[in-house]
Amino acid sequence: MIQPADHHLAQLNIGRLIAPTDDPRVAEFMNNLDRINGLGKRMPGFVWIMEGSGEPGTGNTEAALDGDPQFVANLTVWETVDALEAFVFNTLHFKFFERRKEWFEPSDGMHFVMWWVPEGHRPTLDEARSRLAHRKTHGDSDHAFGWDWGSAD
C-alpha cells in the first residue's frame, strides 16, 4: 500500500490486563510504561501518543474501555509504517511485546488496527475503535488494516 500524501499512520492496540493496574501480577508492565512510552516518543518518525493524566507509571490506563479499568488502549500516530515497525520490533519495546501473555488476557478477536490520518490530525479513542470495528467486520482495506496490508507496496 502506498501512503497517501500529507498523511501519517495512526494505530490502536487494545487489551485487557489479567489484573487491576495496582496488582503485583501486572506490576512489571505498569512499572515500565513510562520507560517504553518515553522511548517511543524519542523514536524517529514518532508524532503523537494519547496520554492519560500524566501520573507516573499509569500511561493511558485510566482510559478504560467500556467502563472496564483492566481494558486498556494504546493510540499513537507515526510518520510512516516503517517508523512504527522500527519501534515495535527493533527496540526494548519488543521484549515487552513478546511477554504480553504474562500481563494480558488472551484476545477474543482483533485487537490492533492502523489507518491513515491527515497530518496534524489527532484521532480520538472513539474514532480508533470505529476503525477497529470496521477491520473486524470487513477485513483489511485502505480504511483499516494490519501489518500485512500496511506493509505491502
- The pLDDT value recorded for residue 69 is 83
Number of domains in the chain: 1
- The pLDDT value recorded for residue 113 is 97
- The pLDDT value recorded for residue 59 is 56
Question: What is the per-residue DSSP string for 77-130?
Answer: EES-HHHHHHHHHHSTHHHHHHTHHHHBPPPSS--EEEEEEETT----HHHHHH
* Interval 48-72 mean pLDDT: 71
Residue 57 has pLDDT above 60, yes or no: no
Q: Nearest 5°: phi and psi at 47?
A: -120, -50
Residue 2 lies in a domain: no
* pLDDT tens readout for residues 68-120: 888 888 999 999 999 999 999 999 999 999 999 999 999 878 899 999 999 99
* Interval 115-136 mean pLDDT: 96
- The pLDDT value recorded for residue 153 is 44
**Residue 48 lies in domain:** 7-151
Residue 1 lies in a domain: no
Residue 142 lies in a domain: yes
Residue 150 has pLDDT above 60, yes or no: no
Using 50, 70 and 90 to split pLDDT, how confident is the model at 31? very high
- The pLDDT value recorded for residue 151 is 54
* Interval 35-42 mean pLDDT: 94
What contacts 140, CB < 8 A, 6 or more positions away? 146, 148, 149
Residue 113 lies in a domain: yes
Q: Assign residue 100 the CATH number of its domain.
A: 3.30.70.100
